[in-house]
Amino acid sequence: MEKMGALFILAFSIAYGIYAFKIPLIFLSQGEALNARTMPYALSIADIVISLLIIILPGYDKDQVTTVRAALSGLDWKRTAWLTGLMLVYSLSMPWVGFVIASIFFMAGGMMILGERNFKVILIASVPLVVVLWFLLTKVLGMYIAPGELYYILGGGAI
């Protein structure tokens, strides 16, 4: 399994090394012993060498799992993918619907994805938590959390 990870790291290091060539250099720094590109070059080469060594040298897997399929089977990928998608939706929707609504929907959605079907439990575990947190942050700690665009569309904040 480590070899598979090393392959993943090797790909990352090669991509990093290619992008390191694209770092712009100012005229004076081109002759310097250590310029903006030096460290990325060194790190890229070091990681390529290390990951190649992991791939080439004999390895030891403490879990005795030799294939990727064996290591990744039996895992609940579907729910994890849904949860990741929900996180992304939360992040993208927050500027539009605001912190409170987006957070309540995230908590409720997360619980539903993980198998909670009792609507009362979902409501009790999400709404008070988010409202109390919002109150603590804005009213007690005095932090400014910008309301979403929806607030202004509905006429909030109008003088």
Q: Which residues bind another protein (CB under 8 A)?
A: 1-2, 4-6, 8-9, 12-13, 16, 19, 23-26, 29, 32-36, 39-40, 43-44, 46-47, 50-51, 53-54, 59-63, 71-72, 75-77, 79-80, 83-84, 87-88, 90-92, 94-95, 103, 106-107, 109-111, 114-116, 121, 125, 129, 133, 137, 143, 145-146
Least distance (Å) between residue 14 CB and another protein: 12
Least distance (Å) between residue 158 CB and another protein: 23
Least distance (Å) between residue 16 CB and another protein: 5
Q: Measured in Å, how far apart are the chain's first and last C-alpha atoms?
A: 62
Rank residues 63 and 159 by Cβ distance to another protein and give the closer one. Answer: 63
Rank residues 62 and 158 by Cβ distance to another protein and give the closer one. Answer: 62
Least distance (Å) between residue 139 CB and another protein: 15
> In whole angstroms, how far apart are CA 40 and each of 11, 13, 15, 50, 146?
15, 10, 11, 15, 38
Q: Rounded CA gap, 77 and 14, in Å? A: 28
Integer Rg of the chain from CA:
25
Q: Which two tokens stand for residue 31?
A: 């002759």
Q: Which two tokens stand for residue 86?
A: 């929900």
- What are the strands, taking DSSP E only, across the chain? none
Least distance (Å) between residue 34 CB and another protein: 5
Q: Which two tokens stand for residue 25?
A: 């250099």
Burial of 146 (0-12, 13-18, 19+ CB in 10 A): exposed
Rank residues 141 and 159 by Cβ distance to another protein and give the closer one. Answer: 141
